[in-house]
Amino acid sequence: MQIAMEIRVDDLNSPAIARLLREHLQSMRLLSPPESVHALDLEGLRKPEITFWSAWLEAELLGCGALMELDAGHGEIKSMRTGVAAGLMRHILEEAKRRCYRRLSLETGSMEAFAPARSLYTR
């Protein structure tokens, strides 16, 4: 029997999430010029205009993603850190559609390390 990945709204209080986000910020700081690090830390993600999801397989954290409302018709994808990116991206896109966003933005790096992310976002 195969167990499905569970994607759930997350309160950002688990140690596993804190570790993943620390690793994410550290990677972004290593891979990006200082003025181009747009990743948010735990406190930055706890804003009311941000919905944060985590993806789990039983007790194993697989990844995370967030959607920030910029205005009633515009959202921005934030904090994608994952080995299960396509599933999380579908989830975020479905939520953006449910919210009737006419525009969805994201920022990612132009360096080679970001090529897999750009490929995902292009699809």
Antiparallel, parallel or unpaired: β 60-71 and 103-105: unpaired
47 CB-near residues (< 8 Å, 6+ apart):
68
More confident residue, 14 or 107: 14
Mean pLDDT of 6-35: 93
Q: Does 91 have pLDDT greater than 90?
A: yes
How does pLDDT run across 95-105, given as a tens digit for each residue? 999 999 999 99
Average pLDDT over residues 109-115: 82
Q: How confident is the model at residue 67 (pLDDT cuts 50, 70, 90)?
A: very high
Q: Give first-to-last CA distance, the chain, whole Å.
A: 30
Q: Does residue 36 surpass a pLDDT of 90? A: no
Question: Can you say how many angstroms the Cα of residue 49 is from the centroid of all Cα atoms in its chain?
Answer: 14
For 1-49, the three-class secondary structure string (H helix, E strand, C coil) is CCCCCEEEECCCCCHHHHHHHHHHHHHHHHHCCHHHCCCCCHHHHCCCC
Q: What percent of the chain has pLDDT over 90?
A: 62
